[in-house]
Amino acid sequence: VLTQSPGTLSLSPGERASLSCRASQSVRTDYLAWYQQKPGQAPRLVIYGTSNRATGIPDRFSGSGSGTDFTLTISRLEPEDFAVYYCQQYGDTRVTFGQGTRLEIK
Amino acid sequence: QIALKESGPSLVKPTQTLTVTCTFSGFSLTTAGEGVAWIRQPPGKALEWLALIYWSNDNRYSPSLENRLTITKDTSKNQVVLTMTNMDPVDTATYYCAHREPLGYFDHWGQGTLITVSS
């Protein structure tokens, strides 16, 4: 089980965002990803392998963590960053998603 | 470049079997390491992984839905088909297919198709 916190994060453009994802069992760092989803759109891969940015993702996005605790950080929020973010663990046998963190404009 | 598109009925009745098709381009499910996943999202709720099929024909299913799901592939048509039996109104959701990169993450997604279960 992946538990994301907070459920909703209210921040202003230019601020720093830290989103947490906690796993009930240890996750290999190779197997942790983050996705961004905007209303009416499919999810978009942001981070894979805990800390690798996907193609086209700006460097204000970064991922970190190990074991059971992982973090997605957005260094300076841009208006287009406000969305729902999901963490995901993926292995050879099964996949699970967290329940999501809604990042909203304050 | 990779693209995926889901197709299926927009409305199914309770107890019926759902069949949704993912038609893709830009990769082949005959290539080692490739895979396609199905994920669903009820309105206003979180993503839920359903099933995965690999180039090798190996399959994986969500433990909570395993007895209702079947995933198959047609490599000649570049399609992956998901069937879900005994549909219920709680299965109302947008159903997505996604390309599983050989390292395991989902790097390309279809636009999704909304399936409503109602009599």
**Terminal Cα-to-Cα distance of chain A (whole angstroms):** 29
β-partners of residue A11 are A105
pLDDT score, position B6: 98
State percent of chain B over pLDDT 90: 97
Q: Tens-of-pLDDT digits for all 106 residues of chain A? A: 999 999 999 999 999 999 999 999 999 888 999 999 999 999 999 999 999 999 999 999 999 999 999 999 999 999 999 999 999 999 767 899 999 999 999 9
pLDDT per position as a tens digit, B25-83: 999 999 999 999 999 999 999 999 999 999 998 999 999 999 999 999 999 999 999 99
The answer to whether B118 touches A103, Cβ cutoff 8 Å, is no
pLDDT score, position B105: 94
Element (H, E) at B76: none
Instruction: Please tell me if residue B55 touches chain A, with a CB cutoff of 8 Å.
Output: no
**A interface mutation test: which of B105, B108, B114 has the most A CBs within 10 A?**
B105
Using CB atoms, which residue from A42, A95, A99 is nearest to B52?
A95
Q: How far is CA A90 from the centre of its chain?
A: 14
Would the CB atoms of A97 and B47 count as touching at under 8 Å? Answer: yes
The answer to whether A68 touches A23, Cβ cutoff 8 Å, is yes
pLDDT score, position B100: 95
pLDDT score, position A93: 74
pLDDT score, position A94: 81
Would the CB atoms of A92 and B104 count as touching at under 8 Å? Answer: yes
Q: Min CA distance, B95 vs chain A (Å)?
A: 10
pLDDT score, position A92: 64
Instruction: Please tell me if residue B37 touches chain A, with a CB cutoff of 8 Å.
Output: yes
Q: How many CB atoms lie within 10 A of CB B86?
A: 12
Using CB atoms, which residue from A31, A48, A95 is nearest to B49?
A95
Using CB atoms, which residue from A35, A42, A49 is nearest to B103?
A49
The answer to whether A51 touches A59, Cβ cutoff 8 Å, is no
Using CB atoms, which residue from B39, B49, B107 is nearest to A45?
B107
Does the structure show a pLDDT above 80 at B17? yes
Collapsing DSSP states into helix, strand and coil, what is residue B110? Answer: coil
Does the structure show a pLDDT above 70 at B115? yes
